[in-house]
Homo-oligomer: A and B are copies of this chain.
C-alpha cells in the first residue's frame, strides 16, 4: 500500500517513537490497543489512514493524550527530517 502523505508518515513515526520509549514491541502495542499487528505496522509506516477511534486507542495505549500524539507528529513533520519515515537500522 502506498504512503499517504508526509503527515501520515509523521504520525506513524510518532507512534513508533513513543512505543520505543515505552519499551514495548509492535505486537504488544497491537494487543493493548486492540488492533492487528500488521495494521499497526501499516500505521507506523504511514501506509494506513487510521480513524479517530484508532488514533485514540493508540494514544491511550501509549499513555498520552490524542492531542499530544498529534503534536509529536507535527514536530516530526516540520522538524528533524531524519527521524521521519526512516526505520532505524537493525543491528
Cβ contact of A49, chosen from B7, B51, B67, B74, cutoff 8 A:
B51
Interface string of A20-63 (1 = CB under 8 A from B): 00000000000000000000000000000111110110000000
Majority secondary structure, A binding face: helix
Residues of B within 8 A of A74 (CB): 65-67
In the assembly, how many copies of this chain are there? 2
CA distance A65 to B78 in the complex (A): 12
CA distance A53 to B67 in the complex (A): 15
CA distance A73 to B68 in the complex (A): 12
Using a CB–CB distance below 8 Å, which chain A residues touch chain B? 4-5, 7-8, 11, 49-53, 55-56, 65-68, 70-71, 73-74
